[in-house]
Structure 1
Amino acid sequence: MDKRYCTIIGLLFFTASMSFFLSMDVQSQQHTSYAKQLPLFFNGWAGREIEVDKRTLEILETNDVLIRNYTKGADTPVQLCIVYASNNRKVSHPPEVCYKGSGWSLEDKGSLLLATEAGHKPTFQVMKLIIEKGGQKNLVLYWYKCNDTYTGNYYMQQIHIVKNGIINRQSTSGMIRLSTPINDNEDVSMAKIENFFMDLLPLITEYIP
């Protein structure tokens, strides 16, 4: 293929991408609060709503924000946080940015594959963090949703947003974060958060576009 032709095609794609990015920043739509439609109780998990203050909503540039603590029995809770919006790519920034701004130190970060069902091969990519503040350590898993696509990679999510926007002239984006305290054993905390993940994922797919 002619090099000049490839250059022109590349410039056209870049221009379309930038046009869509800019339009998303000023045309973010108000919509139904999809996140809050998630059940408060499911598969033995009981949720407790945590209020999100107005300033946080202003920073995130969306009203569709959910924070709940879910417990099963007498165990320590798993906190679920969902930030979701249509046509606003800014809502889905990496959580470690907020953690660092709140005084947490980042002890470990890496990519991880999880099984979506018990006994299945791990194929679902998430990011894993270990954070610490005042002697308390937390285990954090998070991933992104763009329309029907899931990824743990922030940059891949941004690419999906642009692609969907160019093709469909509309794109949704969301960040789903799970966290739980690490008391004595990280493996125990990991097993708990993985079980919650497997119970939660079908609901995310069902309730959040």
Structure 2
Amino acid sequence: MRALKPARLIILSVLLILAALGANSATRKAPPGGKEPLAAAFGNIGSWQCTQRLAMDQKVVKALDLDDFLFQAYQRDRGELSLYVGYYRSAKKVGAAHDPLVCFQGQGWTIGQRDSGSYRLTSHPQYTISYSSMVAELQGEKQVIVYWFQVNDKATANTHSQKLAMLMDKISGRGEDNAFVRLSAPVGAGTPEAARQRIFRFIDDFYPQFVRYVRQMEDKGHS
């Protein structure tokens, strides 16, 4: 019997994960609502001031099958950035979010400096996020993009890891809340590294609050 090639093993594992998620979702209802809307829960974050609620086309909201979303601009001192969260309350919607690599290129942005890594929060070192990042440029404007895919209290760098995390959480009886989180910071007259550092300073304030929000109903269920 021939050994399976690595590529076939990856495809097979994804198919098994999707089958398991589908079977489990067919017998369990999505957790009930009850959380306040994201826009109400996330106004100012630490010393970051919310300066603007950004608009999203309703066609995009519908296409992404969102249960809730947040799209806001923040500023601290002279540093600014934007935060987008696409939120889902069911494991059936894991994978509904689009990777920014596809979206930005489709809008004409040139993509460079792609990377991925892990970041341990300086304010709350018990939290570590796995993330992906890139630099996008359009007509002389540069943006640093950092993003991840959330499952309960886990931040994963891609949808494959997100599906694995959701499968393990469903097996252990945890909640089904999941999300896509994207932070964008303009480079302006500075450097991409300065914009990236600005993003991670924001994450230090935002992420613990976000995890508490995601786990809100789960914690009530275990109280």
TM-score normalised to structure 1 length: 0.79
Does the 8 Å contact 1:125/1:152 carry over to 2?
A: yes
Query: How many angstroms does 1:169 deviate by?
Result: 8.4
Alignment partner for residue 137 of structure 2, among 132, 137, 152?
A: 132
Alignment partner for residue 189 of structure 1, among 189, 192, 195?
A: 195
Distance in 1 of aligned mates of 2:170 and 2:133 = 28
Q: How does 1:170-209 map to 2 (within 5 A)?
A: 171-183=176-188, 184-209=190-215
Q: How does 1:1-209 map to 2 (within 5 A)?
A: 17-18=18-19, 20-21=21-22, 31=33, 32=35, 34-47=37-50, 48-73=52-77, 75-87=78-90, 88-117=93-122, 123-168=128-173, 171-183=176-188, 184-209=190-215
Corresponding letter in the other structure for 2:75 = T
Identify if the C-alpha distance between structure 1 residues 204 and 100 changes in structure 2 by more than 3 Å, giving closer, same or farther.
same
Which stretch of the first structure deviates more once superposed, 122-131 or 52-61? 122-131
Identify if the C-alpha distance between structure 1 residues 190 and 122 changes in structure 2 by more than 3 Å, giving closer, same or farther.
farther
Deviation readout 1:119-167 (Å, 9 max, x if unpaired): 9699532111111111111101111111222222321101122333455
TM-score normalised to structure 2 length: 0.75
SS of 2:66's equivalent?
Answer: coil
SS of 2:95's equivalent?
Answer: helix
SS of 1:90's equivalent?
Answer: coil
Structure 2 counterpart of 1:5: none
Identify if the C-alpha distance between structure 1 residues 165 and 196 changes in structure 2 by more than 3 Å, giving closer, same or farther.
same
Deviation readout 1:99-127 (Å, 9 max, x if unpaired): 11222121121112223015969953211
SS of 1:81's equivalent?
Answer: strand
SS of 1:92's equivalent?
Answer: coil
Distance in 1 of aligned mates of 2:123 and 2:67 = 34
Aligned length: 195
Identify if the C-alpha distance between structure 1 residues 22 and 107 changes in structure 2 by more than 3 Å, giving closer, same or farther.
farther
Corresponding letter in the other structure for 2:157 = G
Does the 8 Å contact 2:153/2:214 carry over to 1?
A: no
Distance in 1 of aligned mates of 2:32 and 2:39 = 15
Instruction: Output the aligned Cα RMSD.
Output: 3.0
Does the 8 Å contact 1:161/1:172 carry over to 2?
A: no
In percent, how many aligned pairs have the same letter? 20
Identify if the C-alpha distance between structure 1 residues 29 and 91 changes in structure 2 by more than 3 Å, giving closer, same or farther.
farther
Distance in 2 of aligned mates of 1:80 and 1:33 = 18
Deviation readout 1:187-206 (Å, 9 max, x if unpaired): 22122111111111111112
Does the 8 Å contact 2:115/2:132 carry over to 1?
A: yes
Identify if the C-alpha distance between structure 1 residues 149 and 136 changes in structure 2 by more than 3 Å, giving closer, same or farther.
same
Structure 1: runs of 5+ lacking an equivalent: 1-10
